[in-house]
Amino acid sequence: MIMEEKTIMNTNLSVQHILAVLPHPDDESFVAAGTLAKYIAEGAQVTFACLTLGEMGRNMGIPPFANRVTLPAIRKVELEDSCRAIGIQDLRMLGFHDKMIEFEDRELLDGAIMALLQELNPDIVITFYPGYSVHPDHDATGAAVVRTIGQLAEEERPVVLCSAFSSNHEQMIGRADVTVDVTAFLASKMASIQAHRSQFQAAELVGNRVLTQEEIISRYGTEQFWTYRFS
């Protein structure tokens, strides 16, 4: 089913608190940095629950400045810098194992998510669309979020906005039904991306050349989400 695209800011939903549940440092940068910065500017509270420190990531900087021992601490600092760039003041690092989310104890994982839902009572939860987000950690995180929220009574469930980008995602789940124009927050988004220095160097971001402003807007100026339909 192809769903009509709309801009989230045109909905009647009053947003007081957003909870983003994502597995890795840097997921927030590409998935929702502009959207989160936009809502923060409008007065919403944002909590980012990062499940891991991305300690098994392959990238160590260009030229390398990290190693397998030092990478977790470096990525922790990068994540904090990214959150400052976006304006996120409530960062939760949940301490699960990178590349192992699908194998974590389900009761422990779901329990950590449920505790956040009960504490924060968010209006919106942002995560990955299970099955359509390429990385096993992405899919397992999204699955845990929708599984946990699905335990709530229907009237108590927050809106769940999912990121999807597998090669077949539009064929299977249709086009995104929420599109957020983040052009006014591109500076925050790009600063968030560039905060993850061990993972993304300027040359990697721009293909060894400087992007024009038009190219930056085309590539990063909107963020798209799929509203998860529990029914």
Which pLDDT does position 136 carry in this prediction? 98
Which pLDDT does position 95 carry in this prediction? 98
User: Which of 78-87, 156-165, 170-179, 210-219 is the least confident region?
Assistant: 210-219
pLDDT for 10-68, tens place per residue?
444 679 999 999 999 999 999 999 999 999 999 999 999 999 999 999 999 988 999 99
Which pLDDT does position 202 carry in this prediction? 52
Which pLDDT does position 4 carry in this prediction? 40
Query: Which class does domain 8-227 fall in?
Result: alpha beta
CA–CA separation, 189 vs 82, rounded Å?
9
CA proximity to 36, closest of 47, 50, 23? 47
Which residue's structure tokens are 């936009």?
38
What are the φ and ψ backbone dihedral angles of 203, each rounded to 5 degrees?
Answer: -65, -35
Q: How many CB atoms lie within 10 A of CB 193?
A: 20
Average pLDDT score over the chain: 91
Contact in structure between 71 and 60 (CB atoms under 8 Å):
yes
pTM over the 0.85 mark: yes
CA–CA separation, 64 vs 58, rounded Å?
11
**What CA–CA distances, in Å, run from 140 to 22, 80, 103?**
10, 24, 9
pLDDT for 108-157, tens place per residue?
999 999 999 999 999 999 999 999 999 999 999 999 999 999 999 999 99
1 pLDDT more than 90: no
What are the φ and ψ backbone dihedral angles of 21, each rounded to 5 degrees?
Answer: -120, 105
List beta partners, residue 50.
22, 93
Contact in structure between 48 and 126 (CB atoms under 8 Å):
no
The tokens for 97 are 């194992």
Which pLDDT does position 9 carry in this prediction? 45
Which pLDDT does position 63 carry in this prediction? 87
Which pLDDT does position 205 carry in this prediction? 54
CA proximity to 1, closest of 129, 174, 132, 167? 174
User: Which of 163-177, 180-194, 195-209 is the least confident region?
Assistant: 195-209
Contact in structure between 126 and 20 (CB atoms under 8 Å):
yes
Helix residue ranges, H only, the chain: 27-41, 71-86, 106-120, 136-149, 169-173, 186-195, 202-206, 213-220
**What residue spans define the domains of the chain?**
8-227
CA–CA separation, 229 vs 12, rounded Å?
18
What is the three-class DSSP state of 156?
A: helix
